[in-house]
Amino acid sequence: MARNPVQFQRGMSLAMFLQRYGSEEQCHEALISMRWPSGFVCPACAGCSHSYCKPRRLFQCSACGHQASVKAGTIFHRAKVPLTKWFLAIYLLAQSKNDISAMELMRQLGVRYDTAWLMKQKIMAAMLEANAAQKLDGDVQVDDSYLGGVRSGKGGRGSPNKVPFVAAVETRRDRPRRAQLRRLASFKETEVAQWAVIGVRRSANVVTDGFLPFEIFAKKGYHHNVVLAGSGRPKERTFHWVNTLLGNLKMSMTGTFHAIRRQHAHRYLAAFEWRFNHRFDLAGAIDALAQTLLTAKPAPYQCITFAEASG
């Protein structure tokens, strides 16, 4: 039987990972080359001339005297957790097929549960930010769905306890390429339109079922195909990849989490989306994620509302 090249790719072994990111110094050097690939640039005056104090890991600008660490102004800023643990958390969250719970992260990293939970949320927030720059194009299957309820099928749409989200898969030659799982405030046309304009290029060929809010695709000038059950076209085949994505998402979530609070749902969806879109290059995904964390806006504790934690 032919092996699926995505499932059987080597990725990055734990041994290889530890060889590259096993010490605090290695992680620090990795961040420096990610943040300043052409050498230090002073955040205050953009000067390049500098000295470096290795024991304190501080750069000092020769022009203005400003002192900067590679972590300043990033998610790692003031973090008490060593960079080796951050990189291990990145490795575990990027490489796992079905996500890992904060409890598992706590065990693997040897940190307190609250710390593991917050690190995980920050990494997922960075994934969310990275996803936002992606736009789907070409053939795109779109469907509406809900977390915390039965699959839209489509009874129970709009129940107050469910989290509505849109699932979209870009395909090429009948194979899935990239996907989006984006939380919406509701399935009002305006909400769907807001996502569509940001998430899908106008040149895309969008296919949906007859759910009325999806009419905005045609209104916004997209090439929009509506496929209805019983219209003579094979509906299962038309939506095969978006249905598969939703099936995998559901399995991943029920296998790993007891419950996901509404206010965190968008980050869990983002993590699943991020992993799906990096599945072709697991080894490169580690660096990509560390780079994203480095450039992501620091997400303070308050923004993530720890009091509502779960998962």
Residues that bind Zn ion (CB under 5 A): 42, 44-45, 47, 61, 63-64, 66
Total count of residues recorded for the chain: 311
Could you write out the DSSP letters of every residue in 37-75?
TTS---TTT----EEEETTTTEEEETTT--EE-TTTTST
Enclosing H/E stretch for 115: helix 113-131
CB of 47 to Zn ion, least distance (A): 4
CB of 46 to Zn ion, least distance (A): 7
CB of 291 to Zn ion, least distance (A): 24
CB of 34 to Zn ion, least distance (A): 20
**Residue 44 or 259 having the CB closest to Zn ion:** 44
**Residue 13 or 62 having the CB closest to Zn ion:** 62
**Residue 48 or 193 having the CB closest to Zn ion:** 48
CB of 148 to Zn ion, least distance (A): 50
What secondary structure letter does DSSP report for 213? G
Q: CA distances (Å), 70 to each of 32, 61, 238, in order?
A: 6, 13, 48
Cα(48)–Cα(42) distance, rounded to whole angstroms? Answer: 6
State the pairing for strand pair 205-208/139-147.
Answer: parallel
φ, ψ for residue 203 (rounded to 5)?
Answer: -80, -5
φ, ψ for residue 144 (rounded to 5)?
Answer: -100, 150
**Residue 43 or 247 having the CB closest to Zn ion:** 43
Amino acid code (one letter) for 231: S
**Residue 67 or 248 having the CB closest to Zn ion:** 67
Please return the burial class of 82, using the count of CB atoms within 10 Å of its CB with bins 0-12, 13-18 and 19+.
middle
CB of 65 to Zn ion, least distance (A): 7
φ, ψ for residue 251 (rounded to 5)?
Answer: -65, -40
**Residue 48 or 79 having the CB closest to Zn ion:** 48
**Residue 63 or 132 having the CB closest to Zn ion:** 63
What end-to-end distance do the CA atoms of the chain give, in Å? 37
CB of 51 to Zn ion, least distance (A): 12
